[in-house]
Structure formats: structure tokens, C-alpha cells
Amino acid sequence: MDAIRIDFLQFCNWSPAIFAQWRAARLGAVHATVAYHLSFRAVVDGIVAWNRRFRDHADLIAPARVADDIDRAAAAGRTAVVLGLQNPMAIEDDLGLLAVLHDLGIRVMQLTYNNQSLLGCGWAEAEDSGLTRMGREVIREMNRLGMLIDLSHAGERTALDAIAHSARPVAVTHATPSDWRPGGRQVSPRLMQALAASGGILGLSLYPHHLADGSATTLAAFCAMAARAAETMGTERLGIGSDLCQDQPDEAVQWMREGRWMRPDPAAPRPRFPAQPEWFADSRGFDALETGLRDIGFSAAETGMILGANWHRFLHASLRPAP
């Protein structure tokens, strides 16, 4: 098998055209966000929609419930889809809904999305008081089930608490280092080191607001950042989580930021999606990444690790019940 490519975070307006781009990009697996702020019931509707896509487009995609599904899909020339949630709203205050969502195929969940949640705190709050009582219970249950804990969008204290509390390695699926793109949404050297020390993975994001020069960021600058991140964390701790939001209307970014919990000033400008860097307009940008990572000095093997082999190894360890 060729070195597997994995993009461990996308939130696109899913379509056969996008699935065909996954195949053109030779993506072996994609982690697809089902929901940001949705209720349990609405997440079930999102899963029903994915079940239908899996049947209607079985020539292009396949569900990934265990890591072996990724290998089976790759062998059959299909892209395996790992379903995830960017917010724990869907479990309400019921630990039992984690096993329910796991049975329905959800394999990744963020503890927080920007704001404070029942489990901990997001990066955008003024104060982060760390992991909550329920947060500790949820981590234990996710560890038991083999559901991956994603600390993207978490506050740093909550993230460090979660790394310390989790019996299994965790991930930040989509972010960049804050010493490259400043801001609480990105990851500090301290967090990167803690993540690496625990055996976790950082998925490097290609969302323009996570890039040093936004949409104008060059491939070389992105790859130089990856090289510095590898010095901090080790090459084996890096992956890609592009955060591609292809073909989404601007209402989608408004939904991400505002959900139903905010009433923004109607006179204020509404958020819009930024343009992707021209070298990563869609999943086929993995070809440019391969070139850029080689040009910055990564070996072919190291490049393959960052573009998928690290996620692949990590998922084989993570997506199984605790022994």
C-alpha cells in the first residue's frame, strides 16, 4: 500500500464532487465533523444523512468504525470517513449517550467549542477553570469506549487537565502553533510539549485564520512552521487536520461562531469564510504539501508520516475499546 494520506478534520458541504476530490487526493481517511452546537436529536439526523451517503456513494467512501475499516477502504480505493463532533452538546448531561453515539459511529468528540461547556472551558472565555467533574467522567468513558478526545478549541488549562487526566493519548485535530499565528485558538509550546509527551497528535490546520498570513500564507511558510513544530513535538506527533469548509455558505461560519447562544449586533459586519490559500483550495492540496514538506527538508518517510502515517498509527491505537 502507498503511504496513506489522512485529513483529520474537514467540515465541507458534503457532495460526490468533494468525495471525488478525496479520491483524486488519494486520501485514505477523512475525519468529518457532524456537528458544532447540535442537540442529540439533530446529531442523529446528521448520522442518518451520513448513513445515506455511505450507501449512495459506496464507490467513493466508506464508514470507519474501527481502524481496520480505514485499511479496508484504502485497499478498495475508497476514502474512510471517521465521524466526529466539535462540541459535547449531543451528550446533554447523560454519560450514557456517549456509548449511544459510539454505537452510531461517532469516534471523536471535542470537550468544548470556544465557549465553556459542561466538561470544561473553550479558548474564547475570559477565564478557564479547567476540567469539570462531568468532564472527568466523560474522559473516563471516552477512554473506555475508544472515542478520541479532541482538544481543538479548548482553553489551555482545560486542555492540559484533559491530557493529564486521560489514560489514553488525545489529539488536537486542527490548530497551528500560537508562536506562528498568535491567539488562544492556537496551541502554545507548552501545550504542544504536553501533547507530545502524552503520545498525542497535533493536526496542522490550513484554515486561513489559523495561518500566519491568512489566505496569503505561502506553502513555504506553512512548511517552515511544520518543521519548527516537529522540533518541538517530534515529527511522529504531527498530522494534518485541514479544517476545510468547502462549498459552505457564509451562514455556516456564522453558525459556528454564534450558534443559537448569541445575538450579534445586526449593524456589525457578519463573519464570512476566508479564501483558502491557492495551494490548498481543496483536498488535492495534499500534493502541494508533499512537495513543500520535502523542499523544507523532511525526508520522504517523514513527509509520509505527517501526511497520514502518524494519524494512521494513532488511530489504530485509539479507535478500539480499552482492554
Only segment of 18-26, 42-50, 123-131, 256-264 that touches a second copy (CB under 8 A): 42-50
Q: CB-wise, 52 or 190, nearer to a second copy? A: 52
Strand, coil or helix: what is 4?
A: coil
Rounded least distance, CB 138 to a second copy, Å: 15
Calpha distance 215→276 (Å, rounded) = 6
Rounded least distance, CB 49 to a second copy, Å: 8
Rg of the chain's alpha carbons, rounded to an integer? 18
- Supply the DSSP symbol for 270: P
Rounded least distance, CB 93 to a second copy, Å: 12
Rounded least distance, CB 109 to a second copy, Å: 17
Q: Is 105 in the site for a second copy (CB under 8 A)?
A: yes
Calpha distance 207→182 (Å, rounded) = 14
Calpha distance 93→144 (Å, rounded) = 18
Q: CB-wise, 107 or 185, nearer to a second copy? A: 107
For residue 32, how many other CB atoms are within 10 A of its CB?
23
Subset of 264-293 contacting a second copy (CB under 8 A): none
For a second copy, the binding residue among 1, 2, 41, 268 (CB under 8 A) is: 41
Subset of 44-103 contacting a second copy (CB under 8 A): 44, 47-49, 51-52, 94, 96-97, 99-100, 103
Which residue, 197, 238, 282, is CA-closest to 10? 282
Q: CB-wise, 84 or 169, nearer to a second copy? A: 84
Asked if residues 70 and 64 have their Cβ atoms less than 8 Å apart, the reply is yes
| Residues paired with 149 in a beta bridge | 109
Binding footprint of a second copy on the chain (CB under 8 A): 40-41, 44, 47-49, 51-52, 94, 96-97, 99-100, 103-105
